[in-house]
Structure 1
Amino acid sequence: MTDLEIAQQARLRPISEIASAIGIPEDKLFHYGPYMAKVEDEPPPKRGRLILVTALTPTPAGEGKTTVSIGLTQGLGRLGKKAAVALREPSLGPVFGVKGGATGGGYSQVLPMEEINLHFTGDFHAVTSAVNLLAAMIDNHIHQGNALGIEPRRVEYKRVLDMNDRALRHVVTGLGGPINGVPAESGFEITVASEVMAIMALARTVPELKERLGRIRI
């Protein structure tokens, strides 16, 4: 069977049941339907052991690390250990490429595979909107008179798209006459490579998130 067929034949357990099995109470969950949830940040009840799975020489397609991580967690669970796996959130870039998604493979998968790979909790979409909003504000400021004296030819800040699209890596924006802005060289990065994504990963509080966002160099 293919990975997709295996995933679709699996009978999912409610996320509340999964969380309870590793000591996370219901009131600490923010649900995204019956099978996905975010966990409210709080200190763990007791310390545990961390196993880091990485690879120095992945295959050309890059597969293996996620599946090994999930399989190892399944094995620990089968031995009666309380175990949880922490993976990066899938990006749409590799999902529609040769590499595939980021939820494992075979009988070592995180489910619901399709929802996790295509949308999950919507964080990537929010970051994409935030990055592109700032890019639009920069262009609009220059178009409306440029009171800050921004040099259009030296704007480093790029737009993002959660997709590997080579045609958009280097583009010229603002064509079509004065009504459509000031022509400038720009481009699109993949969402996970953006500074906003890095800031979201590093920030520990909302005030710190705002402070770091306010220091972005454009």
Structure 2
Amino acid sequence: MSKLRQHEVVALLAQRVGDLQRSGGTVVIAFGGEGNCHKTTITLLLCEYLARSGINATFLEIDSFARDRGERFREGISGYDPHSFDSASFHRALMLLADGKPVAVPYYDHQTGRSCLNATCEEHPHEVQPGRVVVAVGLFFTIQPDALRPELRIFFRSRGRGKLISRLRRDIRNRGYPPTTALINYVRMRRDYRRWMQPAITDCDWVIDVDGSTYKLRFRRGAMA
């Protein structure tokens, strides 16, 4: 497939999700893969698109369940390592949403690298409401196949020569990393990507290669049937 723009990707996703939703019940889809690939932005646009079609959609991000950054850094692990998250709590919350129940979740501040666990705190959003479509945004090793199987699994993969610079810029400007820390974290991410994330590609329905503002879709396992 030729390169697409963001709105075209969202339209294709909405079409596929709409097809899945017609079978009845709650549809759970999973967005995983590399960071800095616009997963959250596409999730928000997809939810808006579906809402215009009369389909209520919600999403749950694995980042909400991240351990404090300082703790992870001391252990020498990056956000691509499953030990960076409270995966069990993320999965329990996902199961409740799939069952049509609201959930209270932590709030993780990417700027400070710390979580707010106080569900009654009014400074941050903590409650996630259920929807007819639930998007699990995160890493595929957190989706336990014996407990819940998303109807559609999509892997986002970063491409292009500016990959390193883009990641470092985001971590320094938006997340408050000192430059040396950002570079160390990037090296750890590449190591953890190869170990924990890359093997998940073969079990996905779609792979979306992201190069700046363009996208290329690769379909697997008859996902468009």
Richer in strand (by share): 2
TM-score > 0.5, shorter chain as reference: no
Quick one: higher RCO (CA 8 Å, sep 6+), 1 or 2?
2
TM-score (norm 1): 0.29
Q: Taking structure 2 as the reference length, what is the TM-score of the superposition?
A: 0.29
